[in-house]
Structure 1
């Protein structure tokens, strides 16, 4: 037991600081991907609800394909295929120039693209749940369409979507572990390296699982408090 604690501690030769750094990278990737996914989801929901026919078709194809294909495959396609595509385009514009794509933005782009498909359906459902009378009331106040959306519709839709977005955050957080397969030194990547180096896989994979559990628990509490606060405000209203 003492030997195990020494391995995951913060002393000389221990892996505590490396695991802590990996956990920070995991949180950064998950949070950035989550924000990207919410942005894509809002655009996707607008396209599926109010866009022209071709935009609705693209939105439907995007959500169907991403949600129907294994996430690890989507990550490989975007991470490797996307970077290869950017290099090819750069080569056409600037022959002889070799562009290196940083691992972090590539990982965020891949996970954000996946999260955006789920966020699209969350936004679409919450926006459609808003009473049309709310929009009519905004028009009666001579508000422009974008003002009606930003000031009246979107705040109510976000309140309805808080539970679903809490679940989405947990999904993105867990999916961030898949990024380790492309060589990023996130929590799982550091844990795998430590397990291989020390030949203590059970110790380090259990530690990684516990860290993910702690982060997930804190996240669930935070979203639960946010949901209660928003619900209380609605009830008081």
Structure 2
């Protein structure tokens, strides 16, 4: 039995790697999406709005299956049309990272957009009046305050993202949910191994909550003192 537990712990490393990689993708897309939705260009704003509307309206599992199976078929058909005899197989890890990152990029977009809109515009105007450029104003004024306003929503998105990684087991990625299923099928003790996987997810989310709560207190320190 110990071998199965070790196997699930090995899969937990893939779960963590998948979560962090997808988080990077989602944050980058979220920042770009928020900037697009706050821009004055109607076309860019429209594309960003379409992105967030479609992604938040389609189930995560459907998108993952579309990327993994539909992407493979589409790329191979494109290569065949180009006259190439090469074939492409999408890596399950890459497919999961791109799909989960793409999905949660839409949620991060709304989180970051709301956080930026919560910052009083007068502070930005004051920075410009002191001669600070747009980039420096964004890095010195907008980003630090945006983090404070975005952290509650970011925390929620991150916790859900971690749990969403379990869907990658359906496309063959050997993360801990996949390996827990294999162990339960071999031993006919599903409760034992799925409970172990659930406990690992709970550990990951608990650690995340502890870290993010500390960050939230740190970035809210000035506001708390001002309110006091």
| TM class, shorter-length | over 0.9
CA drift at 1:218: 1.2
Q: Is contact 2:36-2:45 (8 Å) kept?
A: yes
What stretches of structure 1 of length at least 5 have no aligned partner?
Answer: 1-6
Q: Deviations over 1:93-140 (max 9, x none)?
A: 561222232221111000000110100000110011111112111211
What stretches of structure 2 of length at least 5 have no aligned partner?
Answer: none
Size of the aligned set, in residue pairs, is 226
Q: 2:13 aligns with which of 24, 36, 49?
A: 24
The residue aligned with 1:86 is: 75
The residue aligned with 1:123 is: 112
* Cα root mean square deviation, aligned: 1.6
Q: Secondary structure at the match of 2:90?
A: coil
The residue aligned with 2:160 is: 171
**Structure 1 residues 28 and 94 mapped into 2: Cα distance closer, same or farther (>3 Å)?**
farther
Q: Secondary structure at the match of 2:103?
A: helix
Distance in 2 separating the partners of 1:34 and 1:70: 18
CA drift at 1:51: 4.9
CA drift at 1:58: 1.2
Q: Deviations over 1:34-86 (max 9, x none)?
A: 11101001101111111511111111111111111111111112222233333
CA drift at 1:141: 2.2
Q: Is contact 2:147-2:219 (8 Å) kept?
A: no
Asked if 1:205 is matched to 2:213, the reply is no
The residue aligned with 1:97 is: 86
Asked if 1:180 is matched to 2:169, the reply is yes
CA drift at 1:215: 1.1
The residue aligned with 1:3 is: none
Q: Secondary structure at the match of 1:50?
A: coil
Q: Is contact 1:49-1:56 (8 Å) kept?
A: yes
Distance in 2 separating the partners of 1:94 and 1:222: 52
- TM-score of the superposed pair, with normalisation by structure 1: 0.89
User: Which moved further from structure 2: 226-235 or 57-66?
Assistant: 226-235
User: Which moved further from structure 2: 226-235 or 34-43?
Assistant: 226-235
